[in-house]
């Protein structure tokens, strides 16, 4: 309705203007080849407008005839381009659908219609790789490296190809080249970083992590954890050869992750071996309150080298309440009480945890108590038989492997920060039975007995 009204109003305005021009007073004299015309001024203006419109119309027809071949060529190019884009999109869909043969055929069709489009050649290389035609894929990728736009994408393909062919050194070379061209390339940085950690080149690895630019809170937390794990790995490596440097690295890790048990254990061991028992005990008390980790309790009990079993039990009583608040505390207290031959205290410490959900560690300790307190071999064997069927205790576990102590990388996959304190799903490595806290110079006449792991992971 509005459009109709607008059209009517516009028509009336045009008609009014035409009538006004025709009604203008005066005449216009035109002399052409001895012909004289004297139309009225308004009629002359209308005639000029009509002649101009006719000229414009005739010129547009001539121009269209003259440019017809060029327009047809342009339409053909646009049609070929549309067909090439359609073939390229169909090739991507076919590759994602698991049909690399059709994807390669469509990529070649797209490349013939879009010769300047590098994406078609890159897609053909991907299809060759999926089909196992490594030589053809390699040729495509090497040709694409020459272009600045496609160099990183080509290196990505060469990296995937090298990994598929189990050539880790070649894959790492491609990753390093890609990282040089595009420092923000995530896959290349991850590949180079994994190689550095796998080789134990911790200084270069932490330099890479420090150079990372992060924005979100989760990314910052992940960066701090990576830094802490690497600093702990450096401390672990230098604990024997350069204890002061190892202590600096361990304390740096604790600044990043205040409750990181592996770093705290290393720092406390170094303090103890340097005679700084108070510093070690203060650190261990803080970590125990926040984690309840059994290794912390074991090291706290042995914080004074040469102490007797009774002294170790008294020291452990400083951080563990009676009754113990959780299973890890009860097992740690029971272990120390067994060493001191305080059988009633050992039994009392385990009493809340000897029900149907008793773990292997609790059952093993109860077997020691039954044999040591009353010499009852029958009850001891009953507890040992129960330990075989009991749920496992938490341990340092990574990729199905159970380790005596924390390690920075997984021996199975080489992944950084793979070890977790949790109940192992399947035991494929050695059982967790440490003879004594590592790094301590304990008296040979009174060795530390194994501590079962606690429940809460760190």
pLDDT tens across 288-346, in order?
Answer: 999 999 999 999 999 988 889 999 999 998 898 888 899 999 999 999 999 999 999 99
Q: Residues, the chain, total?
A: 458
Tell me the chain's radius of gyration from C-alpha atoms.
41
The confidence band for 24, taking pLDDT boundaries of 50, 70 and 90, is low
The confidence band for 33, taking pLDDT boundaries of 50, 70 and 90, is low
The model carries a pTM of: 0.68
Q: Is 354 helix (H, G, I), strand (E, B) or coil?
A: coil
Q: Judge whether 252 lies within some domain.
A: yes
* pLDDT at residue 335, as a whole number: 93
Q: Judge whether 280 lies within some domain.
A: yes
Residue 433: is its pLDDT beyond 50? Answer: no
Residue range(s) defining the domain that contains residue 259: 200-291
Q: Judge whether 395 lies within some domain.
A: no
Contacts of 82 (CB under 8 A, 6+ apart): none
Average pLDDT of the segment spanning 152-177: 83
Q: Judge whether 268 lies within some domain.
A: yes
The confidence band for 21, taking pLDDT boundaries of 50, 70 and 90, is low
Mean pLDDT check: name the lowest of 61-65, 269-273, 436-440.
Answer: 436-440
The confidence band for 132, taking pLDDT boundaries of 50, 70 and 90, is confident
Mean pLDDT check: name the lowest of 31-40, 106-115, 290-299.
Answer: 31-40
Average pLDDT of the segment spanning 71-88: 81
The confidence band for 41, taking pLDDT boundaries of 50, 70 and 90, is low
Q: Judge whether 333 lies within some domain.
A: no
Closest by CA position to 199, among listed 172, 239, 178: 172
Higher pLDDT, 257 or 133: 257
Indicate the number of domains in the chain.
1
Q: Judge whether 60 lies within some domain.
A: no
Higher pLDDT, 347 or 84: 347
Closest by CA position to 121, among listed 147, 136, 142, 140: 140
Burial (CB count within 10 angstroms: exposed 0-12, middle 13-18, buried 19+), residue 316: buried
Q: Judge whether 408 lies within some domain.
A: no
pLDDT tens across 240-294, in order?
Answer: 999 999 999 999 999 999 999 999 999 999 999 999 999 999 999 999 999 999 9
Question: DSSP letters of 121-177?
Answer: HHHHHHHHHHHT-HHHHHHHHHHHHTSTTTHHHHHHHHHHHHHHTT-HHHHHHHHHH
pLDDT tens across 207-233, in order?
Answer: 888 888 778 889 899 999 999 999 999
Mean pLDDT check: name the lowest of 13-22, 90-99, 173-182, 320-329.
Answer: 13-22
CA 95 to chain centre: 25
* pLDDT at residue 446, as a whole number: 39
Higher pLDDT, 196 or 444: 196
Higher pLDDT, 365 or 49: 365
Higher pLDDT, 124 or 252: 252
* pLDDT at residue 160, as a whole number: 81
Closest by CA position to 410, among listed 256, 238, 401, 441: 401
* pLDDT at residue 193, as a whole number: 87
> In angstroms, what CA-CA distances link 394 with 285, 427, 431?
21, 12, 11
For residue 274, give the CATH number of its domain. Answer: 1.25.40
* pLDDT at residue 455, as a whole number: 41
Average pLDDT of the segment spanning 361-379: 90
Q: What's the CA gap between 302 and 448, in Å, rounded?
A: 8
Q: Judge whether 227 lies within some domain.
A: yes
Higher pLDDT, 123 or 282: 282
| Secondary structure percentages of the chain, helix, strand, coil, to 5 | 65, 5, 30
Residue 350: is its pLDDT beyond 50? Answer: yes
Contacts of 313 (CB under 8 A, 6+ apart): 301, 333, 336, 337, 339, 340, 342, 345
């Amino acid at each position: 309705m509005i459009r109709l009204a607008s059209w009517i109003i516009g028509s009336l305005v045009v008609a009014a203007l035409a009538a006004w021009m025709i009604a203008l007073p005066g005449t216009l004299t035109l002399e052409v080849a001895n012909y004289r015309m004297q139309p009225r001024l308004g009629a002359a203006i209308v005639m000029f407008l009509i002649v101009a419109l006719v000229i414009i119309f005739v010129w547009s027809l001539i121009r269209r005839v003259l440019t017809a071949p060029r327009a047809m060529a342009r339409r053909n190019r646009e049609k070929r381009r549309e067909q090439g884009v359609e073939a390229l999109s169909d090739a991507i869909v076919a590759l994602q659908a698991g049909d690399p043969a059709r994807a390669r055929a469509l990529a070649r069709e797209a490349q013939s219609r879009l010769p300047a489009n590098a994406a078609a050649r890159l897609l053909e290389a991907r299809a060759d790789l999926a089909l196992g035609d490594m030589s053809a894929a390699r040729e495509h990728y090497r040709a694409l490296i020459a272009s600045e736009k496609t160099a990183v994408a080509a290196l990505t393909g060469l990296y995937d190809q090298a990994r598929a062919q189990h050539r880790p050194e070649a894959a790492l070379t491609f990753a390093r080249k890609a990282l040089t061209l595009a420092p923000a390339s995530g896959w290349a940085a991850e590949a180079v970083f994994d190689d550095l950690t796998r080789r134990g080149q911790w200084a270069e690895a932490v330099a890479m992590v420090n150079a990372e630019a992060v924005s979100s809170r989760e990314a910052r937390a992940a960066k701090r954890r990576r830094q802490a794990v690497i600093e702990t790995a450096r401390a672990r490596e230098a604990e024997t050869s350069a204890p002061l440097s190892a202590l600096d690295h361990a304390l740096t890790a604790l600044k990043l992750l205040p409750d990181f048990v592996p770093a705290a254990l290393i720092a406390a061991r170094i303090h103890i071996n340097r005679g700084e028992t108070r510093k070690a005990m203060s650190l261990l008390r803080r970590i125990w309150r926040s984690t309840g980790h059994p290794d912390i309790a074991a090291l706290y009990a042995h914080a004074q080298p040469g102490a007797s079993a009774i002294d170790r039990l008294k020291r452990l009583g400083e951080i563990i309440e009676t009754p113990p608040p959780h299973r890890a505390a009860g097992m740690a207290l029971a272990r120390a009480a067994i060493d001191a031959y305080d059988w009633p205290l050992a039994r009392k410490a385990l009493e809340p945890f000897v029900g149907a959900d008793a773990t292997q560690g609790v059952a093993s300790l109860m077997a020691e108590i039954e044999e040591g307190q009353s010499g009852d071999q029958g009850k001891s064997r009953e507890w040992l038989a129960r330990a075989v069927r009991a749920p496992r205790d938490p341990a340092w576990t990574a990729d199905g492997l159970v380790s005596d102590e924390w390690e920075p990388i997984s021996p199975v996959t080489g992944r950084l920060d793979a070890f977790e304190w949790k109940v192992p799903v399947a035991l494929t490595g050695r059982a967790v039975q440490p003879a004594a806290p590592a790094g301590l110079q304990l008296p040979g006449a009174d060795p530390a007995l194994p501590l079962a792991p606690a429940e809460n992971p760190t």
